[in-house]
Amino acid sequence: METENTNIIEDIMQNNVNILQTPNEQLTKNETMINESILNCLNKDNSIFQMLCKCIAFSRMIYEINDWHHAQYQCCFGYFYINWKGEKYALQAESHAENSMKLISYYLNSTSQQMNQQNSDDRANLLILCIVLLNYYTLAKSKIILKKTKDAFSSIRQAEKALNKVEQLMDSIEKSKNSLENIDNYEDNSKQFDRYLENYYQQWNHCTLMRLDKKFYPNLQNLKVCIYCLYGKIAFECEKYVVSFDQYMQALKFIEKTYGPESKEMISVYHALGHIEYQSSEDDMKKSIDYFKKAYEISNKIYYKEESFRSMVDLIRSVYLLCTVYMKLNLNLDDTEHLLGEMLQMLNTYNEKDNQNSIEYHVDNNSDGSVDLIRIKTNSLDNNNHHIKCLTDHCSNSIYEYSNEYFVNLICSLRSLLINIYIKSSRFQEALKLLEENLNIQEDTFGMYNTQKILLKHLIKLKCALTLNNSHSVLIRNKQRELKIF
């Protein structure tokens, strides 16, 4: 408490806090600012972080230790860490979510409330359930990143249960609203519900960040798909493939119903379903082609409609996965070569149109509201997948940005497939040309001594071609000496 008060005093000294405002007013101000700026916080991470810190500090000045507000702000911190600051903050996200759950327990014990009671008239139930839901979601997401697989599986199951309870309570509120409405006083259903929900929340102070009709708390539809996909990913890593497949199919059906059968949100789910089929027998491997092909068809349409950077990355990834399976099963190799060549040509064309070089840092500001639902990396089934692994998986893949490394590895992954085709058909000169391009872009991005394993594999294969002619032999030997791999 003293530490928080000291921080507030320091802020006052630095003119960051208006000393004419009460803690209550300051808390309201910070909550409002967070909600207003959270969707555009990519370059404002520090300011959001500072405002959340102030919310915790002011709430401790206003409320008793066992009050639910403290759990609320700890929950917000955890969600902010994992959802906006990224995977490298998984440990902090886990810690805040666990602290929030402890504070919820203190609150429930002090007020003799039970989470399983079915009392829709208890107005605090919705707020508490929303905190619990977001905490379990944050815990599941952070724990799977931290390789705590069993704990992650337990958390995602609890998140699913909490989501069901929130939906049930929202339904009961909807029914209560309908019973109070005068039939002769017709109003659009959505407006009716918004108005009723507004009145509902007005009875509680400082609940803005947990409000389902504001911007900080994720849209329930989006969160539902996120939970389906995260559940599928965790089940996959637990080798519960049937459960994983079922969760992704639920996500697919829900997305199709909500956003349409060819929405961009379908792409990553089709990728995930393809991976699951790929783990089984050769017959199931062939089934995976159908999913990867569907992802390619959708991403291709979206790219030529939008021509955005994100749509291009989705298309590249879809092409890579589809061609990888084709090559694994020795199917359609001529078509595969043609598709890879077209993709690389498209990249060159895109680069010529774009003032920014393709391997520079990119931010995609063309996203609409619906893309929030894929903040979960539904395509991250690639992680620890030895059968069909894309080398871009370790890189950040947030909804708004792609790192240099992510895009470079994606391009090199495409070229590597074509290099494999050229080597198998003894077209060493063409393979060497692509290898040289990969080496150059890898060295420019990662440095000479951090070249990716993908290049080492091809150098080993091309070593067999040393006798092709002297110029090629010199080229390969020079690269080997630089990389010190032989």
Give residue 232's pLDDT. 96
201 is a domain residue:
yes
CA-based torsion, 200, 28, 86, 408: positive or negative: positive
Domain end call among 377, 410, 425: 425
Average pLDDT, stretch 56-66? 90
165 and 264 both lie in a single domain:
no
Between the CA of residue 443 and those of 59, 351, 405, 440, what are the distances in Å?
51, 20, 11, 5
The enclosing domain of 412 has a CATH number of 1.25.40.10
Q: Kindly provide the b/e burial profile for residues 80-109, where b requires at least 16 CB atoms within 10 angstroms of the residue's own CB.
A: bbbbbbbbebbebbbebbbbbbebbebbbe
Query: Do residues 51 and 7 touch, judged by C-beta distance below 8 A?
Result: no
Length in residues, the chain: 486
pLDDT in tens, 136-157: 999 999 999 999 999 999 999 9
Spatial separation of the C-alpha atoms in residues 223 and 383, rounded to whole Å:
22
Do residues 139 and 83 make contact, with C-beta atoms less than 8 angstroms apart? no
Q: Measured between alpha carbons, how far is 212 from 374 in angstroms, rounded to an integer? A: 18
Listed residues 150, 184, 217: the one ending a domain:
217
- Answer yes or no: do 355 and 411 share one domain: yes
158 found inside a domain: yes
Together in a domain, 146 and 237: no
CA separation for the pair 149, 157 (Å, rounded): 12
39 found inside a domain: no
pLDDT at 136: 98
Residues 204 and 241 in one domain: no
Domain termination residue (choose one: 198, 217, 236): 217
Place of tokens 């890579």: 320
Tokens representing residue 359 in the block:
């391997």
- Report how far residue 25's alpha carbon sits from residue 136's, in angstroms, rounded to the nearest whole number: 30
Give bridge partners of residue 401 from the DSSP assignment. Answer: 363
Q: How many CB atoms lie within 10 A of CB 437?
A: 15
pTM for the complete prediction?
Answer: 0.79
213-222, 280-289, 451-460, range with the lowest pLDDT: 451-460
Residues 227 and 210 in one domain: no
In the chain, the percentage of residues whose pLDDT exceeds 70 is: 69
Answer yes or no: is pLDDT of 451 > 60.
no
Mean pLDDT within 240-268: 94
* Range among 99-113, 148-162, 421-435 rated most confident: 148-162
User: Is residue 287 exposed (0-12), middle (13-18) or buried (19+ Cβ within 10 Å)?
Assistant: middle
Above 60 in pLDDT, residue 78?
yes
Q: Are residues 199 and 238 in the same domain?
A: no
Q: State the total domains in the chain.
A: 2
- Domain presence at residue 164: yes
Residues 335, 382 within the same domain:
yes
Report how far residue 398's alpha carbon sits from residue 409's, in angstroms, rounded to the nearest whole number.
16
| Average pLDDT for 304-312 | 87
Estimate the share of the chain in helix, then strand, then coil, as percent rounded to the nearest 5: 75, 0, 25
Residues 323 and 410 in one domain: yes
Does one domain contain both 209 and 295?
no
Q: Are 325 and 386 members of one domain?
A: yes
- The reply to whether 482 falls in a domain is no
pLDDT computed for residue 256 by the predictor: 94
Residue 139 is predicted with a pLDDT of: 98
Give percent of the chain above pLDDT 90.
39
The answer to whether residues 288 and 187 belong to one domain is no
Q: Is residue 437 part of a domain?
A: no
Mean pLDDT of 395-422: 71
Mean pLDDT across the stretch 378-397? 36
Residue span of the structural domain in which 105 resides = 63-217
d(CA 70, CA 4): 13
Note whether 334 and 392 are same-domain residues: yes
Q: Lowest-pLDDT range, 73-82, 111-120, 297-306, 444-453? A: 111-120
Alpha-helical segments (H) within 354-469? 404-424, 428-446, 453-463
Report yes or no: 142 and 175 within 8 Å, Cβ to Cβ: no
For residue 144, tell me if it sits in a domain: yes
pLDDT tier at 133, thresholds 50, 70, 90? very high
